[in-house]
């Protein structure tokens, strides 16, 4: 082989080696890009999924807080008795009064009658203040002048019969039983106070009685 042939063969070999190196670098570069894309893509998807889940959760929470129905809490002290009472008092604007039913057969003195009526008034008022359903009646009675009417019966039986009728209608009431310190014996029923309540309702149990 001549010298020129050797030179040409060396140049060709060098070209082949250089080409192989370039190809190797290109292949390595492309492999690196593909390898990096392979690992980066799931991370991006995960981030996107996390972002999407967070946005969905936020939207759901907002929708829930916006559309959540109000809960009315019913009152724990309400009873069937209270409901019946409300049905009895349909006219919420009617004037209220209190009646003091005195036993005329006892022949009590004026001062004694006055004292017994005071006991009845205070007892009925205190009894009404203990029940939520009587609050409106108390306010109407107080603002309307606190009307009190003294009427009479002629026996204890008649007094107790009226008391039972008042209880059936769930009217505020108070039966005065004397302590027996003056004029009459201890344990004697003297006065029945009914009210405060609408006039028409009280009249259903005492409207037939005469003034004292």
Q: pLDDT digits over 10-42, tens only?
A: 655 655 566 656 555 665 566 555 555 554 454
For 80-211, CATH gives 3.40.1490.10
Can you give the pLDDT at residue 163? 97
164-172 mean pLDDT: 95
User: Is 165 exposed, middle or buried, given 0-12, 13-18 or 19+ CB atoms closer than 10 A?
Assistant: middle
Q: What is the pTM of this model?
A: 0.58
CA separation, residue 174 to residues 95, 160, 178 (Å): 20, 11, 13
25 or 3, greater pLDDT? 25
In 3D space, the residue among 31, 195, 76, 207 whose CA is nearest the CA of residue 125 turns out to be 195
Where does the pLDDT of residue 93 fall: very low under 50, low under 70, confident under 90, or very high at 90 and above? confident
Residue 178 has pLDDT above 90, yes or no: yes
pLDDT in tens, 145-166: 999 999 999 999 999 999 999 9
**Which token pair is 205?**
């149990």
């Amino acid at each position: 082989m001549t010298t020129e042939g050797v030179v040409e063969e060396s140049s060709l070999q060098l070209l082949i080696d250089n080409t192989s190196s370039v190809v190797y670098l290109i292949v390595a570069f492309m492999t690196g890009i593909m390898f990096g894309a392979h690992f980066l893509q799931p991370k991006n998807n995960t981030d996107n999924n996390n972002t999407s889940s967070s946005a969905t959760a936020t939207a759901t929470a907002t929708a829930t807080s916006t559309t959540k129905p109000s809960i009315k809490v019913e009152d724990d002290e309400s009873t069937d008795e209270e409901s019946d009472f409300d049905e009895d008092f349909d006219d919420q604007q009617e004037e209220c009064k209190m009646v003091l039913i005195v036993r005329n057969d006892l022949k009590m003195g004026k001062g004694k009658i006055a004292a017994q009526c005071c006991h009845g008034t205070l007892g009925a008022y205190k009894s009404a203040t203990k029940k939520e359903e009587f609050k409106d009646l108390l306010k109407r009675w107080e603002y309307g002048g606190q009307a009190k009417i003294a009427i009479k019966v002629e026996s204890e039986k008649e007094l107790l019969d009226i008391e039972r009728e008042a209880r059936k209608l769930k009217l505020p009431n108070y039966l005065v039983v004397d302590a027996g310190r003056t004029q009459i014996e201890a344990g004697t029923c003297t006065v029945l106070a009914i009210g405060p309540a609408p006039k028409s309702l009280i009249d259903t149990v005492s409207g037939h009685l005469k003034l004292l």
